[in-house]
Amino acid sequence: MRAVQETRDLLKTLRPSLHDDFLSVGAPFDYDIPELKFRLQGTQYSIYDEAIDAVFYRSRRSGSIVANNTYLSSFAYNVAVVWAAFGHEYDRLAQGEQCSLATLLRYNLKKFFAEQLLVRTNSIFARGIFLETLLYEERVMRPLFAAAESHTAEAVRHEFFSNFMSSILLFHEVGHMVQDARADFETLLLEELRRAGGREFSLPWKSYTEPLQIEFRCDTLAILSGRRLAPAEMPQDFVLRVTAFAFAVCACMIGLEKSAAATARKYPGDADADLLDDYRNILPGASFVIGKDETGLARAHSAAAVCEHLARADGDGSELFAGSEFPFRPEMIDGLAAFTLNTVDVADPEVRGLCELLARAFGGNPRGMRYLRLRSKVFLMPEDREKQRARFQIEERGISTQQH
């Protein structure tokens, strides 16, 4: 019991923003990865922390600690749900047309950017663009989730998205454990890729520095491990497209997280002027910084190459990105990144003006903003997920046909 408490205290020390309510009970793990000839041992926690940095820690006293942070994966899950419904509109989005895909992606990515700003600065601009996202959430996202829940097949797929997005990030951190223990990690990965894909795989990361090559290797392990989580009846080409998409979305979000950090440094937000007479023209903090994360994009392209290689085991790998269910193509990686650059643009001047007024009213009321941030999320405890999963299984067997 004392060791468990020491581990929890260590996590809270390493992650000062982590609240007790969002730190699960630790679960010791001890299992083998036969294909890598490696045995994993340590303690795993589930956390929800807006700091999206590393979630793997090494402690001489407590051993290996994997803190599976579901914050980033929850946003990636939301975007995956949007893509499942409207991904077929990508060409319209790429042409700059207004469509459901563009609207939903913009507000999900804007919310992520706003929350990352609010972690660092309590500026009027950060509060304002966050409040904008709450309006879309009530009008569009909640009905989208509700519609999916009313159809068993979609609900099962969404449950897969949720577990998969979280697992990809978790397995990446496991990769760091393997890297530390095995000097031949890359050789083992090449052997597994050759076996799984039926031919040699040309490593796309050899021109990068060793620290970055480690990240690429861990990504590859995450892909190899994550795809085994899919239900047997789920087509492998669909799973691999979802995998490539997950890395593309994470690259966009890492770019937005770095942009939020740069914006906060440029405008810390502790000197917001209450310029009510000119609030539409002078908005402190609105000279935001936004850009792409080139390393994340390189990793996303590498992930797509790995997925295409794995698809060759069942046929022509080029067919992987031709599927119509959950459509995704490698060129969409850069297209999505370009779209993030316009995430914070004004979509509705009247709505933005109203949100700016509300943002000023919330000045000095951090508890009120925290309430709104938590109110905009849905948290499921492990036992809730088990009940949800059991309901899906019952409906699949035809025992119950109740829709809600």
| Minimum mean pLDDT range among 33-42, 182-191, 207-216, 223-232 | 33-42
Give me the long-range contacts of 153-162 (CB less than 8 A, separation at least 24): 154/84, 155/392, 156/231, 156/392, 156/396, 157/84, 158/77, 158/81, 158/84, 159/388, 159/389, 159/392, 160/230, 160/231, 160/234, 161/77, 161/80, 161/81, 161/84, 161/242, 162/73, 162/74, 162/77
Higher pLDDT, residue 255 or 394: 255
pLDDT at 255: 94
| pTM recorded for the entire structure | 0.84
CA–CA dist 117, 264 (Å, integer): 6
Which residue is it, tokens 């579901």? Answer: 70
* Mean pLDDT value across residues 238-248: 93
CA–CA dist 127, 363 (Å, integer): 9
pLDDT at 150: 73
Question: Confidence band (pLDDT; 50, 70, 90) for 30?
Answer: confident
* Mean pLDDT value across residues 248-265: 91
Surface-to-core class of residue 159, CB atoms within 10 Å of its CB (0-12 exposed, 13-18 middle, 19+ buried) = middle
pLDDT at 251: 94
In tens, the pLDDT along 353-372 reads 888 888 888 887 888 888 88
pLDDT at 394: 38
Count of residues in the chain: 404
Which residue is it, tokens 């563009």? Answer: 102
Surface-to-core class of residue 16, CB atoms within 10 Å of its CB (0-12 exposed, 13-18 middle, 19+ buried) = exposed
Q: Which residues on neighbouring strands pair with residue 47, listed in sequence order?
A: 23, 69
Q: What are phi and psi of 280, to 5 degrees?
A: -80, -25
pLDDT of 268 over the 70 cut: no
| Minimum mean pLDDT range among 136-145, 338-347, 364-373, 388-397 | 388-397
Question: Confidence band (pLDDT; 50, 70, 90) for 316?
Answer: low
pLDDT at 308: 92
Average pLDDT over the chain reads 80
* Mean pLDDT value across residues 278-291: 57
CA–CA dist 315, 318 (Å, integer): 9
- Residue 224 · residue 192 · CB < 8 Å: yes
Angstrom CA distances, 51 to 45, 79, 132, 288, stand at 15, 19, 22, 20
* DSSP 8-state secondary structure symbol assigned to residue 38: E
pLDDT at 278: 41
* Mean pLDDT value across residues 257-281: 65
Q: Which residues on neighbouring strands pair with residue 270, listed in sequence order?
A: none
* DSSP 8-state secondary structure symbol assigned to residue 290: -
Question: Confidence band (pLDDT; 50, 70, 90) for 404?
Answer: very low
In tens, the pLDDT along 85-119 reads 899 999 999 999 989 999 899 989 999 999 998 88
CA–CA dist 79, 224 (Å, integer): 22
pLDDT at 378: 65
pLDDT at 214: 95
Strand arrangement, sheet containing 38-47: 27-33, 38-47, 63-69, 56-59
Out of 150-154, 167-171, 327-331, the most confident range is: 327-331
